[in-house]
Chains A and B, each alone.
Chain A
Amino acid sequence: MASDGLLEQLANAKLPFVRKLQLAALAELDYWEDRRDPPNLSIQEFRSLLNYIPAGLQPSWRERESSSGPHGDTGETQVFKFEFEVSILGRRSRYFVKGYFFDADRCRGVTIQSFRRISLPRLRAV
């Protein structure tokens, strides 16, 4: 269960999106881990890359279609979608993320519906 301090931070309406996502994932994370082959990105990879999302990134939003999952009924009605690029050990790759915060009336976590790599790691051009 998330600490009061964490929940208090999540209640701040002025929290930038990426910071909110990082804190919500720390508080309570529901993660749909894709079994299709490929790509198959794990919850561990998602957690590892959370700090790599650019701090000022703004997602796009659209209406959520599904209400399944433990927080499907209580979660926000809008899903966020965004892509971000990561460069590690000189290798660059790009990811897609989709999900929604829950609960709608008081944020205490996040559900990640999709987390995919959309380009393979490649060495940066010199």
Chain B
Amino acid sequence: MKHCEHPQVRTEMVKKEYFGEQFTAKGVVCAECEAILWDSKLQEKFNDWLIRLDASKRDKFTIQFSLTERALECLEHLAKQFPGVNDSQILRALAVIYFNKVAPNPEFARRIESITESDVFKSLLTGEKRRSKVHFKPSALLDIHSWAKIVDLPPSRLLEESILRVFSVYIENDPEMKEFWKANILPDLELILKAS
């Protein structure tokens, strides 16, 4: 496939769909391949649009997903360590840590993936599931949708899979995993939740 160098451009109204809503703004478009130039000006217009959308249609920024009773017990146990912090904040923080700290590090990622073979992880998959609804700020939701596209999963399933992996590390009795939790996940979780 020939990669366009975008030799000629024009200004036109660009439209993109996010969360079932249409974002429109004037932008620069390649006359050959129709790629949109996403620069700081367009980013600013997009940020303003997101703020207005979040204020008017909060449900657009809510993800509904299911966790087993066992997973919800983990969440409850973890939440006790952070008084005043709600479930959404913890779940969001865990997803952020997984995708920004764990997954980019090949060694961390290998260790976390190995836990999916464990009884601990499997125990989090079995049993009755309960629905959870979590609201995210626009930037966090964009991140999640972006990750969902990258791994080709619906956002709800993406959240479940990443969170269950981190929960498994949290409840695993293996001393190495406990050390991994203390050294690599807990400090970031504390930092994120203090700031949220």
Contacts and interface: CB of A to CB of B under 8 A. Distances in A.
Nearest to B149: A45
B186 interface: no
Given A28-B40, A51-B104, A90-B113, A34 B35 contact: yes
Given A44-B145, A48-B146, A68-B7, A88 B151 contact: yes
A16 interface: no
Given A51-B100, A52-B104, A90-B116, A113 B3 contact: yes
A44 B146 contact: yes
A35 B35 contact: yes
Interface string A37-73: 0000111110111011000000000001110111000
Interface stretch (B26-34, B56-64, B123-131): B26-34
A70 B162 contact: no
Query: Which of B8, B146, B153: most chain A CB closer than 10 A?
Result: B146
A69 B37 contact: yes
A64 B4 CA distance: 11
Interface in B24-56: 28, 30, 33-40, 43
Interface in A14-43: 28-36, 41-43
A78 interface: no
Interface residue tally of chain A, by bracket?
35 or more
Contacts, number: 108
B115 to A, nearest CB: 11
Contacts of A91: 151-152
B3 A42 contact: no
B38 A43 contact: yes
25 contacts: A28-B40, A29-B39, A29-B40, A30-B38, A34-B35, A41-B149, A44-B143, A48-B150, A49-B150, A64-B5, A66-B7, A68-B6, A68-B9, A69-B6, A87-B103, A89-B158, A89-B162, A89-B165, A90-B113, A90-B116, A93-B150, A96-B3, A113-B3, A114-B3, A121-B150
Interface of B: 1, 3-9, 28, 30, 33-40, 43, 99-100, 103-104, 106, 109, 113, 116, 142-143, 145-147, 149-153, 158, 161-162, 165
Given A32-B36, A36-B34, A91-B152, 17 more contacts: A28-B40, A29-B39, A32-B30, A32-B38, A35-B34, A35-B35, A45-B150, A48-B150, A51-B104, A65-B5, A68-B5, A69-B6, A70-B37, A70-B39, A87-B106, A113-B4, A114-B4
